[in-house]
Structure 1
Amino acid sequence: MNLPYDDIAEQQADLMRMLLPHLNETLPDGRFILGVLPPPPPAETVRIVTGSSPQAPAEDLTVWEIPLRSDPDSEDLLGGDEVLGLVRALHTGTQIFSSSRLSTVMGMRLVLVDPTQVAPAPPDETDATTTILRTLVQPWTEDQPDPRLRGYLRRPDRLRLYFDREDDITVVAADVRPAGAVTAVLAALDSLLSEAGQQPDGDPHCSRKLDLTNW
């Protein structure tokens, strides 16, 4: 059952918000979540990037493409806890995938995950604590900022941010330096995203990109 892509885009953005508290969490094998990427339409998936550090070369990173629904006939989409459970399980023990499920994207290894073949790691006490505290500090709301953050990717000395707008779910990427004038960039972001930008240099997750690293 195919949902309107607006619903898929909204779920990708919700997953982005729900996974942020786990930005610095160590996965079972010592790796970290380094990115959440919005696959281009009509893919009903989310891509989670993991690696040893943002400084690791692209070939040492893994992009896990996870379907947002384990049952093709269901309207129910996977939530943040379920996606996190799958990512943790994928970093537990040795994982073997057929060559048909392996490829590359942006120089990173891309693995197509079959959720029916992976037993998600259960949430732990820290997860419950995080949920309680986050709910008290930032009560959940379906309203998202405009422009809306759809994903991110951490690389050496830069952060690629993926945005769309309330009236246009076409994704635009913006590269910023975390050590740069981030406050100024964020203040001007709405107008900056209206600029023409450049071709996305082999990044299939956006239609164009902006280089804001010199701000």
Structure 2
Amino acid sequence: MKKDDDIGDFQAEVAALLLDHVRAPLLKDQHVRGVLPAPAGAAAVRVVLGDRDVSDPARLTAYEIPRGGGEEPRTAHDVVALLRTLHTGTHIYPSDRVTSVMGMDLYLVDPAQVKKAPFTTDDWAATLLRCLAQFSQERPPPRLRGFLFRQGGLLRLYMDSDEVPGVIAADVRPGGALTALLAALPSLLGEEGQTPGKTEGPHCRCLVDLTHW
């Protein structure tokens, strides 16, 4: 993959992930008001934060976050974690890292100087739900029919599949190895993984416990 394609994919992933925070706040009073590809092909993304419905540049703040290099370049989730830290508390920026763009204050972030906020259970849950909802027609995984947040940090997924009849519920613990869980879901929802007669509600035929998977 060419470098420009890699940067473009990174910027697109950040934009997609932050769509949720146009209406729901990223922080308690701050919404995402823009996601901008850094100019001149720079390996970075710019995220604009401000109060909901605000579009006056003087009331918005932009942060430029580099993609990074090495074996583990920064992910879209890393960008979210950095933003949550950057816009809380007091952060001192050298004068050469403060500028402006399109009438907004622009801060050039050095991630090495920022301790990322932890990724929350809701963040992991939203990522998992988004992946399930945007299945590929070529290789469709189980179809997401619904979901419910449960006590103890659990998420209940309601899904169906061509391989098994009816709606199957699966309790999962959002976090970490989402890619592996998504890949394994079709087999985990098979007849051998089901608990006959156990539904804990009228919305599914049976329940699969994947909390320890």
Residue of structure 2 equivalent to 1:121: 117
Higher relative contact order (CA 8 A, sep 6+): 1
When the two structures are superposed, what TM-score results if normalisation uses the length of structure 2? 0.58
Larger Rg: 2
TM-score, length of structure 1 as denominator length: 0.58
**Can you give the 5+ residue segments of structure 2 that lack an aligned partner in the other structure?**
138-213
Output the CA distance in 2 between the equivalents of 1:140 and 1:13. 18
- Give unpaired runs (5+ residues) of structure 1: 142-215
Q: Does the Cα contact within 8 Å between 1:65 and 1:110 map onto a contact in 2?
A: yes
Q: In the alignment, what sits opposite 1:108?
A: 104
The structure in which a higher percent of residues are helix is 2
User: Does the aligned pair in 2 maintain the 1:27–1:91 contact within 8 Å?
Assistant: no
Q: Deviations over 1:138-174 (max 9, x none)?
A: 1389xxxxxxxxxxxxxxxxxxxxxxxxxxxxxxxxx
Larger mean CA deviation between 129-138 and 100-109 belongs to 129-138
Corresponding residue pairs, total: 136
Q: Please, what is the CA RMSD of the aligned residues?
A: 2.0
CA distance in 2, matches of 1:78, 1:140: 26
Give the counterpart of 1:139 among 132, 135, 139.
135
Partner of 1:50: 49
Contact 1:68 1:77 in 2 (8 A): yes
Matched residue, 2:8 = 9
Query: How many percent of aligned residue pairs carry the same amino acid?
Result: 40
Residue 41 of structure 1 aligns to a residue whose secondary structure is helix
- How much does 1:76 deviate? 3.3
Letter in 1 for 2:121: E
Q: Which residue number corresponds to residue 26 of structure 1?
A: 25
Deviation at 1:63? 0.8
Amino acid in the other structure paired with 1:66: I
- Separation (CA, whole Å) in 2 of partners of 1:129 and 1:51: 25
Question: Structure 1 residues 27, 68: CA separation in 2 closer, same or farther (over 3 Å shift)?
Answer: same
* Residue pair 2:23, 2:52 contacting (<8 A) in 1 also: no
Kept in 1: contact 2:18–2:32 (CA 8 A): no
Q: Does residue 98 of the first structure (1) align with residue 97 of the second (2)?
A: no
